[in-house]
Structures are given as C-alpha cells and as structure tokens.
Amino acid sequence: MPACRLLAVFLIALFVNAVSAGPAPAAEGGLVDEAGCGECHAAQQRSHAGSQHARAMQSATAATVKGVFDGSSFRQDGQLTRFFRRGGRFFVNTDGPDGRRQDFEVRHTFGLEPLQQYLVALPGGRLQALTTAWDVKGKRWYSLHPDERIDYRDVLHWSRPPQNWNAMCATCHTTGLRKNYDSANDRYTTTYAAQGVSCQACHGPAGDHLTWARGRGAGVVPPQKGFAADLRAGNGQVQAEACGYCHVLRATLTPAYPVGQPLLDHTLPVGLPAGRYFNDGQQRDEVFNLGSWQQSRMHARGLTCTDCHDAHSGKTRAPGNALCTGCHNPAGPAAGSHVDTRGLQHKDYDSPAHHHHSAPVSCVECHAPKRTYMGVDPRLDHAFRIPRPDLSAETASPNACNLCHADKDPAWAASAVAGWYGEGRRAEYHYGQAFAAARNMRPGAAAGLLRIAGDPAQPAIVRAEALEELAAYPGPAAARLALAALAEADGRLRIAATHAVTALAPREALRDLQPLLRDPLRAGKPGWPPAGKPRPPPGRTPTSRNPGWAWPRCWRPAATPAAPSRPCARPSGSTRPTWPASSTWPTCCAARGGKATPKPCSATVSSASRGRPPCTRPWPWP
C-alpha cells in the first residue's frame, strides 16, 4: 500500500481511538445563585453589573432595549423590516424563513454597544439573531451585510444557521450553558444558569467557595478558596486562557470549558492563516483578541489581561496614554513582579521626541491600529506591534502610518520612520516576510519558514503557523524540523507538527505520531485538521504533497463525543436543510433544490470578505 494511503488509514484509526479514549469532560456542577456574591464582594459586584459582560444578553424590556421601536422601518434591496411595540412588548415585522412577512417578538437583547442585536424565536427551540441591528452611537437601524442582496434562501439570512444563537453565540453570552440539541428531532432545549457573562462564567462554579466562605474558620482553606482556578495576574497563562475561550476564533472539542483547564484540551484555536490574518499577523477577519495578543512582546514578558483591564468592569485601568505610560516612562515600569521588564527602555514615550508628531497622538493609533467589524465596531489589534511600513509592499499588509496618511504611500512612511529611528528596523527579519513568500511561492520561501519555525525566540503561535505552511514545501530539513516539533512543550507547536509531518514525512508519521495518542491535550492528538485553514491559494490543488488540503468533504471530527450541538449533514435523500458539524474544513452542506448536496461554504459571515461560491475560510463553529 502506498505510504500516503497507508498514512490516511492510520490517521483515521488514530483519531477514532484518540477521541474514544479521552476522558469525558467533567460536569459543571456547583453553580449557585450569584445574588449572594455581593455579601463579601459588593464593590466587585457593583462594578461588574455595569459592564458589557454582565449585559451581553438580557431579556427585552424598556430598560434594556436601546433601539427605537416606534413603527420605524429599515429597507435594504427591497426587503422591509419594521420595528414596533405592542402591549409593552417589542416586535419586528420582516421576511421569515419561508420568505413571507411575519411578526416576530424580540425575546432578548444581544450586546450593549456600539451596536445591539435582537433575538427572536423560531420553531425547534431556536433563537435567531436578526442581522438588522441598532447603531447605538449613530442612533439608526443598519444591516450587518450592507453590500449583499440577501433573501430567505441565502445562508446569511437571519433565520439560517450562522445566525443561530443556540449553536453560534450563546456560549459566550450566557453562564452555565447547555445547548441540548436533539439530533433525532432537530430540536434544542437549551438551558443556562444566567444571562450574560456572570461571576461563575470566569471563576467557575462557586458552590465549594460559598460553602467555605460561609463556614470560615471551621476547616482548612481549600485550594483557590474553593474555585477551580486562580485568576490573579501572576497566573498569566490560566487567566489568558480563561478570557481567551471567548476572545479567540476556535472550534470546540468538548461541550463546555471548565475554567482552569488547558484551553487546548477543549478547543482548537485558529492559528494565523491567510484570510484570517494579514501576512504580518495583523488582524484581518473577525478573529477577536487572543491570537493577536499571543504574538505580542508583552504577552511573552508575562503581562496579563487584568494588568490593563479591570477584571470586573472590563474598562482599562487608566484612560488614554496613561495606561501605557504606567510602564513606558522615564522612571521605569510600575507593573507587578510577574512581568519581566528587562530590556524596556526608560524614556518619555508620550512626547514628540518619541512619536514625532506635533499634535498629541494616542499610543494605540500607532501600535494597535483599529479595524472595524460588524459595521460600527472598531477593535484594537492586541499584538501591539512596532509599525513596519517598510514591509507593507512585500507582505501586502497595512501599516499604521498610512491608515492616517492615506494620501501617502508605504515608501514615504518607511522613509520617515527610518529618518526618525534609523535603519536598524529594516534589517530585522519579520515572520510576515516568510509567510508572504510562502503563500506566493516565492524563491527562498522554504528557508524563511524554516528560520521562523525553528526560532525559539518567536511566539509559539507564529512558529506553529510556519510549521503549517511548511507542509507545502517538502524537503529533508522541513521533515526533520516537523518531526522534532512533535516533542515541543507548547501544545500549539505539537498540533502544527502533526499536520506538517503527515505531508512532509508520511512514512515516519506512521511511527512518530503514535506517542501523541497519549498527548495530555485533546487538540494535540493526531487527526484534527487545522482549524480555520483556508483553501489552497489560486493555482494550487490538494495533492499528496499536502494531504492536509485533501480531507473528505464535510468531514466530521467527533468534536463533541457526548452529543452533537447543531444540525449536521444528513443522508443524501433527506429534504431537511443540512449543516456541517465541523468548523475545521471549508466545505459545507446545504439543501439545494430539495436535495442535500455538498457545496463550498460561504467564506465568512463578514460581507466585506465573503465570496461565494469559493470558500476561502470556513466558519468557526462554537
């Protein structure tokens, strides 16, 4: 049997064994009524009550609904949506799943600002998020897909699976969620302990803590005072993963994430693939924060989310540049002892001597440029990078300078930066150069990837992406590096190595992947395709050189062995709409003409980057 075919059979066996052998996730018991939290933590409870987290999802009332439901209408491409009230309740009249206009009652608000969406009910226990949203600042109704012609048959219609609250949204807008999808009857009986992101969403079940707190002094203090994890700033990895579960683009491997357990044991996060990120690692698609943060120097030095954000209000700990100058100042940093500040220059950063602008300028304008999502929601890039306009042309990536100086070109910006800070930065090789070369099949691409993947000074997420890209550039050096990476301490590298090895060293993979059956992380076990991996670039097709691009259509890993959480592909004779269970491969199934047939999935829920029918990146199913 040829090596590649033998490897494919072997990987299937590995995967089935890895999933079935893994322990079932622990039940999330011990949830309590959080009204009692304020007995000891009144200040924290007050701070949290006004936060975006606390109000991520609320019952629709006059106090929570920000949109104007006064009979006003919104029209797009001939589709009319009217918002009105009846008997103190809120309604929307719009085209339903069958294209006919109906009245739908708004059950819940979704989000707080800068936009607010609304949830309405459909049969089968479903809640759906309307794609006409309220612009809180602009005080107007607007479409999340302004450049699209969408009717009830379109996958982006509000009644379709991408807008399904139960499967797509609820996990990160509620506490103690159980999706409870009944695949036999295609029905949800979803439950949750609390609306919004409450105390126990981050700290974990508080039953043991409450028992200890109310019997203080009666016995030995339990670890973490009864909580599953210590979220203090000094425990940066645990804190970053607790936040990252909802602030990262990922597929899920288990029905729930128990706080304090390794993120990679319950999810498969997206790396830095083309389409999701620019070649230099800047955010492109709606990827949230963790992937950017893991590229940053501050993350590498031990800085954590709560060094900058108040854990309960979510607000930054100081306004504007004062947040940054707490560490970046002439006297030196004021960060906690958990941060390694060696190498940080002591100087006045908040001055023209550093930023070379006559008018006051914000640190984040240059180091964390914003990108707007959902039409009205500008979000900072949490990589906090040094601007490199000299790389824009080579990497096809934007730069902070030209986002403001749009009338100039990158060469002008690069010349200005070199004049201010010297030519030294241009000599620093950047991983964006390696990724751009690899994705455009430029000469020397393999050497650049080898350089990045083998450099322990690079962020793990960057090295992992380089390993993924190496799969398309076979050779002895690439194979040796991929095989060695199977033993890396960081789970991201082991995961990427399993993908690279199957392409670069298929014969060795038969032997060397076997130990990973015992990998402590579910995501580290062989068999998962890369999460969010794009299709091959134009002109390249799935071949034996890159089996990672040749998984079966609608391939379904047993991401939630206990029970499915959403509809999956049904037999070809079915007339029911079908939908993929995996977020990890760019083919979806949809009902066409009454028959369920595979088709390329729409690229993304972002109309700005969506292209149908070619699938450039699959949806990240929760």
Nearest Cα residue to 535 out of 599, 603, 440? 603
Please report the pLDDT score of residue 510 as a whole number: 74
Please report the pLDDT score of residue 211 as a whole number: 87
Round the average pLDDT of the chain to a whole number and report it. Answer: 82
Rounded Cα distance between 374 and 63, Å, is: 24
pLDDT of residue 252 exceeding 60: yes
Rounded Cα distance between 385 and 227, Å, is: 35
pLDDT of residue 494 exceeding 80: yes
Q: Output the DSSP codes for 411-480.
A: HHHHHHHHHHH-SGGGGS--HHHHHHHHHTT-TTHHHHHHHHHT-TTS-HHHHHHHHHHHTTS-SHHHHH
- Of 198-202, 225-229, 476-480, minimum mean pLDDT range: 225-229
Rounded mean pLDDT, 549-567: 41
User: Left (φ > 0), alpha (ψ -120 to 50) or beta: where does 172 sit?
Assistant: alpha
Rounded mean pLDDT, 455-467: 98
Give the rounded percent of residues in the chain with a pLDDT score beyond 70.
79
Is residue 217 very low, low, confident or very high in pLDDT (cuts 50, 70, 90)? low
Model confidence, pTM = 0.83
**C-alpha distance from residue 403 to each of 366, 374, 406, 412, 468 (Å):** 9, 19, 6, 13, 30
Supply 500's token pair.
């690279």
Please report the pLDDT score of residue 511 as a whole number: 82
pLDDT of residue 192 exceeding 90: yes
Task: Tally the C-alpha atoms within 13 A of residue 556's C-alpha that lie toward its C-beta.
Answer: 15
Please report the pLDDT score of residue 564 as a whole number: 65
Rounded Cα distance between 569 and 186, Å, is: 12
Give the rounded percent of residues in the chain with a pLDDT score beyond 90.
65
Q: CA torsion 534→536→538→544, rounded to 10°?
A: -170
Q: Output the DSSP codes for 35-75.
A: GGGGGT-HHHHHHHHTSTTTTSEEE--TTT--S--SS-EEE
> How does pLDDT run across 383-442, given as a tens digit for each residue?
999 999 999 999 999 999 999 999 999 999 999 999 999 988 888 899 999 999 999 999
Domain boundaries, the chain: 55-195
Dihedrals φ, ψ of 80, to 5°?
-105, 130
Is residue 563 very low, low, confident or very high in pLDDT (cuts 50, 70, 90)? low
**C-alpha distance from residue 543 to each of 4, 474, 536, 546 (Å):** 10, 12, 10, 5
Check residues 589 and 332 and name the one with the higher pLDDT: 332
Nearest Cα residue to 228 out of 253, 197, 207? 207
SS3 91: strand
